[in-house]
Structure 1
Amino acid sequence: MTAQPEITQRDLRNRSKEIMDAVENGHAFTVTRDGHEIGELIPLRRRRRFVSRAEFAAMSRNAAQIDLEAFRADQEAAFDQEPRDPYER
């Protein structure tokens, strides 16, 4: 694992666009002030919107088995069977 490049607080202020562009492109930095590490700039993980069928199948192989009858019983127990009038107090 390689160490993150260090940038000073002043660099962050003066080169913010350049540094933020680098963070957006996956680079991380350790921010320092007076020679002391004070924080990290790291890219946010991007949420994936699609998982292929093969990847889903591979992830599901080790999943626990579901007892369908117990699952349905739990749903029935949690679900309020009686409709309520939303205007009734």
Structure 2
Amino acid sequence: MTAQPEITQSDLRNRSKEILDAVQAGQSFTVTRDGHQIGELVPRRPSRRFVSPQEFTAMSRSTPTVSLEAFRADQDATADQYLDDPDDR
């Protein structure tokens, strides 16, 4: 992993357009003040896309069928089994 370039607060102020263009293009920077790291400029992650109910239904058609009995058996096999379960009272 490569280290992010460090920029000073004054660099950020004086070269903000150049630096923000680089951030928009995917570059990250560590911002320093008086020789101390104070923050990071990182590209924003893409926001999540809303999936309509129709699109979700279409995507779900290709998923494998799950046996409820097999699923429950797997849960029972891996879950902690307490003899004094308060729900059994």
Distance 2:13 2:22 in 1: 14
Paired residues, number: 58
1:66/1:11 CA distance change after superposition, 3 Å: farther
Identity %: 68
- State the partner residue of 1:31: 31
Q: Secondary structure of 1:45's partner? A: coil
In structure 2, distance between residues paired with 1:12 and 1:22: 12
Q: CA deviation at 1:47?
A: 3.3
How far apart are 1:46 and its partner, in Å? Answer: 1.5
Q: CA deviation at 1:32?
A: 0.1
Aligned-residue Cα RMSD (Å) equals 2.8
- Give 1:34 deviation, angstroms: 0.4
- TM-superposed CA distance for 1:7, in Å, is 0.1
Over 3 Å counting, the alpha-carbon distance change for 1:48 and 1:3 in structure 2 is same
TM-score w.r.t. structure 1 length?
Answer: 0.55
> In the TM superposition, what is the alpha-carbon distance from 1:10 to its structure 2 partner?
0.1
In structure 1, the partner of 2:85 is none
Deviations 1:37-76 (A, max 9, x none): 0000000011365xxxxxx79xx67xxx485xxxxxxxxx
Counterpart CA distance in 2 for 1:14 and 1:66 is 62
Q: Which residue of 1 aligns with 2:7?
A: 7
Q: State the Cα deviation string for residues 13-43 of structure 1 (Å, max 9, x = none).
A: 0000000000000000000000000000000
